[in-house]
Amino acid sequence: MSTFTAKVESCMPLKEGYQIVLDRTAFFPEGGGQGADTGMISSVRVLDVQEKDGIIFHFTDAPLKMGQEVEGSIDWEKRFSKMQQHTGEHIVSGIVHSRFGYNNVGFHLGEENVTLDFNGVLTTEELREVEYAANEAVAANVDVLVSYPDDKELETLKYRSKIEIEGQTRIVTIPGYDVCACCAPHVRRTGEIGIIKLVQMQKYKGGVRIAMKCGFRALEDYNKKETTVKALSALLSAKEEELTDFVERLKEEIFELKGKILGLNQKIFQSKVEKLEDGCDKVIFFEDTDAVGMRNLMNLALEKKGKMCAVFSGKDGEYKYVIGSKEKDVRQIANNLNEMFQGRGGGKPDMVQGSLKGTKEQIEKMWDKL
Ligand SMILES: [Zn+2]
């Protein structure tokens, strides 16, 4: 039921908004792991719905008159999605319970995903098996039955239940798949759920947490993933089914190239160091390289020639630096540099590193004065 008529029984102003009670309602109050419905009651917006002691309170943005005849309408797209997710959850939990004996010990129906926590571990193959069986239940399009058995019947009935239930128990049965005590709305037949996709599984508190998407939510997820895969395929000029191999090869190539660059850099550094004049104790380099390259160059220079060496990488306004010495404590130099050029960094007596904001000219001038 997505629309209904009712009479306003009470309307109370709150700090923010209003609290309205109707003589009857189709709005679902938050419960059983499923969030409250939103929608409209005549001209006012329903933002939240809660139940207390059998009374359902609608929290709205505007008031309604007592005794007024109103028409309620539920945000059906949202509600239907929740029913798809929720009914899917019953099927998956029922299958996991009957095949592996694990209980659903936590359930959250979020905006993005539904998560299910089980108190036992499944393998990836078992997860696929559960997913397939759940989709078989959808294809079988069986009725989702609701019943209110009396205490005597309940005693003999085998059903899943997360909490101790007070008062009348509502049993939701999906024949062949699940029997569970639950207060929330579900779809009428399993076919309405659409696809049940288990999108993620991780170890959680000695068991597993499974993330799931059902129906239109799963379709949306499929579309997103398809867009990503197609974009990658076009970018890399590779067939979709070959993307994984392709990217693996790319990663290997990049790794090899990095190694080659490192080797080439080392040769360049060596020749630079060899060209240094004899007796040159204080060396400064401006070299476009990464942190490893900077340290390599510094170490080479210190080995071969200078007593103190600085390597700067970057451009005017943003330089990274490494300074080392075999004899001098270079921490004071770093402090001075940082002070002069709004820099950050430090280190040990024989090596400091950091970044600063000066220009090449300024840095060289300062270096000459040391
Ligand atoms: Zn339920």
- Shared domain for 210 and 98, answered yes or no, is yes
Contact 255, 273 (CB under 8 A): no
Contact 79, 28 (CB under 8 A): yes
**Ligand 1: distance of its center to the CA of 123 in Å?**
26
Q: Tell me, what CATH number does 15's domain have? A: 2.40.30.130
- Shared domain for 106 and 194, answered yes or no, is yes
Residue 294, domain extent: 266-368
Report pTM: 0.77
Write down the residue that tokens 């020639």 correspond to.
305
Position 242 scores a pLDDT of: 95
Backbone angles phi, psi at 325, to 5 degrees: -155, 150
| 165, pLDDT greater than 70 | no
Task: Provide the residue count of the chain.
Answer: 370
| 15, pLDDT greater than 90 | yes
- Shared domain for 226 and 270, answered yes or no, is no
pLDDT tens by residue, 197-226: 999 999 999 999 999 999 999 999 999 999
Q: Can you say whether the dihedral through the CA atoms of 303, 273, 323, 307 is positive or negative?
A: positive
**Ligand 1: distance of its center to the CA of 203 in Å?**
24
**Ligand 1: distance of its center to the CA of 220 in Å?**
23
Last residue of a domain, one of 24, 47, 74: 74
Residues whose beta carbons lie less than 5 angstroms from ion ligand 1: 182, 184
**Ligand 1: distance of its center to the CA of 238 in Å?**
44
Report how far apart, in Å, the C-alpha atoms of 71 and of each of 12, 66, 79 are: 19, 14, 17
Q: Tell me, what CATH number does 215's domain have? A: 3.30.980.10
**Ligand 1: distance of its center to the CA of 294 in Å?**
61
Q: How far is CA 299 from the centre of its chain?
A: 43
- Strand residue runs (E) in the chain: 3-13, 18-22, 39-41, 44-52, 55-60, 69-74, 104-109, 114-118, 145-147, 171-174, 178-181, 196-204, 207-214, 282-286, 308-315, 318-325, 344-348, 351-356
- Residue 298 counted as domain residue: yes
| 275, pLDDT greater than 90 | no
Position 123 scores a pLDDT of: 97
- Shared domain for 138 and 193, answered yes or no, is yes
- Residue 164 counted as domain residue: yes
pLDDT tens by residue, 93-115: 999 999 999 999 988 888 888 99
Position 180 scores a pLDDT of: 93
- Residue 271 counted as domain residue: yes
pLDDT tens by residue, 55-97: 999 999 999 999 999 999 999 999 999 999 999 999 999 999 9
**Ligand 1: distance of its center to the CA of 219 in Å?**
22
- Shared domain for 68 and 84, answered yes or no, is no
- Shared domain for 94 and 223, answered yes or no, is yes
- Shared domain for 338 and 298, answered yes or no, is yes
- Shared domain for 143 and 57, answered yes or no, is no
Q: Tell me, what CATH number does 273's domain have? A: 3.10.310.40
**Ligand 1: distance of its center to the CA of 19 in Å?**
27
DSSP state, 280?
A: -
- Shared domain for 161 and 24, answered yes or no, is no
Last residue of a domain, one of 43, 74, 105: 74
- Total domains present in the chain: 3
- Shared domain for 95 and 183, answered yes or no, is yes
**Ligand 1: distance of its center to the CA of 97 in Å?**
15
- Shared domain for 284 and 363, answered yes or no, is yes
> How confident is residue 240, by pLDDT bands cut at 50, 70 and 90?
very high
Question: Using CA atoms, how far apart are residues 30 and 167, in angstroms rounded to an integer?
Answer: 18
Question: Using CA atoms, how far apart are residues 235 and 229, in angstroms rounded to an integer?
Answer: 10
- Rounded mean pLDDT of 22-45? 94
- Shared domain for 221 and 98, answered yes or no, is yes
| 281, pLDDT greater than 90 | no
- Residue 243 counted as domain residue: no
Position 219 scores a pLDDT of: 97
How many CB atoms neighbour CB 102 within 10 A? 17
Residue 102's nearest CA partner among 86, 85, 117 is: 117
**Ligand 1: distance of its center to the CA of 128 in Å?**
23
Q: Tokens for 15?
A: 């700090």
pLDDT tens by residue, 300-339: 999 887 689 999 999 999 999 999 998 889 999 899 989 9
Q: How many Å is the Cα radius of gyration of the chain?
A: 34
**Ligand 1: distance of its center to the CA of 223 in Å?**
28
Question: Using CA atoms, how far apart are residues 233 and 76, in angstroms rounded to an integer?
Answer: 37
| 166, pLDDT greater than 80 | no
Last residue of a domain, one of 19, 43, 74: 74
